[in-house]
Every structure is written in structure tokens, then in C-alpha cells.
Amino acid sequence: MKAVTWQGFRDVSVEEVADPVIKEPNDAIIKVTSTNICGSDLHLYETMGAFMSPGDVLGHEAMGIVLEVGRDITQIRPGDRVVVPFQIACGHCWMCERFLYTQCETTQVRGEGSGAALFGYTKLYGQVPGGQAEYLRVPEAQFTHILVPEGPPDDHFIYLSDVLPTAWQAVEYAAVPDGGSLLVLGLGPIGDMACRIAQQKWIDTIIAVDLVDARLERVRARGVQVIDLRKHEDDLPDVVRELTDGRGPDSVIDAVGMEAHGSPATAAAQRVTASLPDAVTEPLIKKAGLDRLAAVYTAIETVRRGGTVSLSGVYGGMADPMPMMSLFDKQIQLRMGQANVKRWIPDIMPFLTEDDPLGVHDFATHRLPLREAPTAYEMFQQKAEGAVKVMLKPWA
């Protein structure tokens, strides 16, 4: 089959790899009909290469048709249409029973000290072949699937794999009080969708920040107040406080993570680290940390005293300097973590209707054949051509 493979720093290619096969009685094989490039895939494209191997199949946002199931699978059958959550979870362990699917005890990657295994995402999370491919093997398929109906196009459902539950959890964790205010930092796919979800939850004041024209315009067009960071890089907290009764917003969502603009020295360190041997880079990232923390610092500085910061952007370093005095003094609630996908599906499904209140039908800015993945990655990484969300079509 054809699959998008990691080959090195800013180097992905579409290669012929072996078709997946059933290995365990609770596996399933799906024919992938649509698969997306996620913002966190760009971390692998650049900063997290130490934990990748040439030939690793990328991708963790996929959906398709079930072709084959293992002998223990009764929940789905060949011909079913399914979305595949980005995390692999059993659904029945102690953690899963508490809806903490990203901490599944059956699939935890204990050798790396990590949570549940993820599709297409480094040896830290199991080095499981991902979904940017023509076919995908799904372990723990009794639970690692979302059954969806025939009829609507893939755009209607594919964001259940990651974008929708991640943005939904970000808003839930933000815990905006009635009549409250929310600041969203970063208007990539998650920040953009978080704004849309916040509108559906009738949050009174939503303010969104980015520095890319196309992203600002997408969110402004949906009625959200936006701030261009390029114009307020030095006074953003003051500007936001002026819009929120002088206190700051009740809650802030950091939808940026370690790709944050604003830390030139750390950005340079990331580029240098990416060129070092893995034996040097792995312990450096695990022990020292190489995240750009501009976004989380801004969130902590800007949120009102007693407010909540919700981190949905991915951070990869182990020992980063955190402003503990400010967190303690301002009595800030800090919530974070990868989305527990299936926890939120019952809440999200009522919004996936024909009138499309979340705008999923036109959420993708680009739809390209799988064979054009290298170009798509470069475009997305450079934020070129208005790229916010790229969908790949394996069979186009």
C-alpha cells in the first residue's frame, strides 16, 4: 500500500509499504477514505525527530470502511463506516472506566513512561503505524472506533478523530463561568474549532489571538473578536484586560503549544537539536525541555486572578521553567492533557447535523491526494496558501 512516511527533518515521502494484517484477535483493518494532517504532526516534521525512525507511517486522524476484523471483534463488522480516534484504548481498564482514555492501562507505553499508545506518533507513544495510508490496522478495535452512518461526506465526521474532541475538551477544561469571558491563543485547527464550540455553549465574550491573516479572518467571519498579535506583541495582556473589565478573561485556552511564536532563542535551539544524533537529542528533550513557552506564559499573565488556563497545545519538554510564583499568587487553575476522545463523542454528535453549526463541512482549507503529502506538509508548516486544515485522500 501507499503511505506517508517520516524520513527525517522536514522530510516526508509517500512510499510503498507492507499492507497491514490482523495480528491480534481484537484487531481490525480499515480502508482509509480520508485522513488529515494535524498540527501535532508538524512537531514530528521538525522538533520531535529524535523519537522517530525513517519509514515510520504518520497520521492519527483517519476514517474509512472496515475490511476485516479479528475473531474477538463483535462491535463492528466488514462494511461498517468508522472514524478512528487518535489514541488506542481498550475501554474496560481502570483508567478507561473513568473516561481517561489517554491513560489506558492496556496500551500505556510503560517503557517510555507514556500514556496510551497513539497512531503514527513516535516511539514515546508506541510507534504504531498511522493513518496517512491506504489501509490501517486498528488495535483494540472493540473500543478504538466511532461508528458513523452512511450518507454524509467524510468531512461531516472525520474531525471526531481529534479536532472536535480536542477542542471540546479544551473548552470544557476552561470552565468558563456563566456570563464569563474566554481568550483563545492560536487559531490553527484546534483554536479555530474551540471558538466555534464556545459560541455554541453561549459563552458571552470570546477573544481570539493569532498572527496569520487567513486564520484571523476565518474566525472573524464567524463573529468572534480577534486580535492580531503582530500589532500587540508587547502589550497583549493590557489589550485583553481592557476588553474584560480590567481583570483579564475568566479563562484562557492555549491552543498553540511548543510551536509558539515569540521565543527566537528556543526556536533556534529546536532547529539545532533536530540536527543532532538521536542519542544526544532524546535525553536532552526528556530532561531539559526545548519548548517555546511564549503562549503558556501569555496565558498565565493574561488570565484573571482565580481564573483557569486550559492547555490543549502539545508540549514536549520535560523540565521547562514555569512561572510558579505567578501561578500560585494568582491562584490559577491549570488543566491540560490529550483529549479523551470517546468521552466527548455523545456531546459532540448532536452538533453534526445538516445545518452544520460548527462548520465542519468546509473546515478543511485544502483537500489533496495522498501522493501530494510532502507538498501538503511543507505548505502547512509554512502556513502558506491559507492552510489551516489539510485533508488527504488516499484513493484520489
Domain match, 325 and 210 both: yes
For 269, the grid coordinates are 535551539
Tens digits of residue pLDDT in 366-383: 999 999 999 999 999 998
Tens digits of residue pLDDT in 25-56: 999 999 999 999 998 898 888 877 778 999 99
Domain match, 142 and 242 both: no
Domain match, 8 and 138 both: yes
Task: Decide which of 292, 320, 336 is a domain's last residue.
Answer: 336
Interval 319-345 mean pLDDT: 90
Tell whether the model's pLDDT for residue 286 goes beyond 50.
no
Tell whether the model's pLDDT for residue 239 goes beyond 90.
yes
pLDDT at residue 321 in the model: 72
User: Which of 169-178, 201-210, 315-324 is least confident?
Assistant: 315-324
Winning range, highest mean pLDDT, from 31-45, 86-100, 292-306 = 86-100
Domain match, 191 and 288 both: yes
Higher pLDDT, 178 or 290: 178
pTM, whole model, 2 decimals? 0.91
Tell whether the model's pLDDT for residue 323 goes beyond 90.
no
Interval 246-272 mean pLDDT: 67
Domain match, 72 and 111 both: yes
Tell whether the model's pLDDT for residue 197 goes beyond 60.
yes
Residue count (the chain) = 396
pLDDT grade for 315, boundaries at 50, 70 and 90? low
pLDDT at residue 326 in the model: 92
pLDDT at residue 295 in the model: 85
Helices (H), 330-372: 341-348
Tell whether the model's pLDDT for residue 269 goes beyond 70.
no
Share of the chain above pLDDT 90, in %: 82
Tell whether the model's pLDDT for residue 125 goes beyond 80.
yes
Domain match, 198 and 69 both: no
Domain match, 92 and 134 both: yes
Share of the chain above pLDDT 70, in %: 89
Task: Decide which of 288, 303, 336 is a domain's last residue.
Answer: 336
CA distance 343 to 143: 12
Which neighbouring-strand residues pair with 154?
Answer: none
Q: The domain spanning residue 372 has which CATH number?
A: 3.90.180.10
Of 317, 315, 280, nearest to 299 (Cα)?
Answer: 315
Of 32, 24, 27, nearest to 60 (Cα)?
Answer: 32
Of 29, 44, 223, nearest to 136 (Cα)?
Answer: 29
Tell whether the model's pLDDT for residue 97 goes beyond 60.
yes
Domain match, 124 and 233 both: no
Higher pLDDT, 271 or 196: 196
Average pLDDT, the chain: 91
Tell whether the model's pLDDT for residue 332 goes beyond 50.
yes
Domain match, 349 and 301 both: no
Tell whether the model's pLDDT for residue 255 goes beyond 80.
yes
pLDDT at residue 264 in the model: 46
Q: The domain spanning residue 204 has which CATH number?
A: 3.40.50.720
Higher pLDDT, 225 or 267: 225
Helix (H) or strand (E) holding 369: strand 366-369
pLDDT at residue 50 in the model: 73
pLDDT grade for 292, boundaries at 50, 70 and 90? low
pLDDT at residue 259 in the model: 54
For 134, the grid coordinates are 491506504
Assess contact for 118 and 125: CB atoms under 8 A: yes
User: Which of 16-20, 292-296, 387-391 is least confident?
Assistant: 292-296
The parent domain of residue 126 ranges over 2-162+340-393
Tell whether the model's pLDDT for residue 290 goes beyond 80.
no
Number of compact structural domains in the chain = 2
Domain match, 195 and 109 both: no
Domain match, 122 and 42 both: yes
Interval 217-229 mean pLDDT: 97
Interval 305-324 mean pLDDT: 79
User: Which of 261-270, 292-301, 332-341, 366-375 is least confident?
Assistant: 261-270
β-strand 181-185 against 251-254: which pairing, if any?
parallel
CA distance 303 to 88: 34
Domain match, 26 and 103 both: yes
CA distance 341 to 343: 5
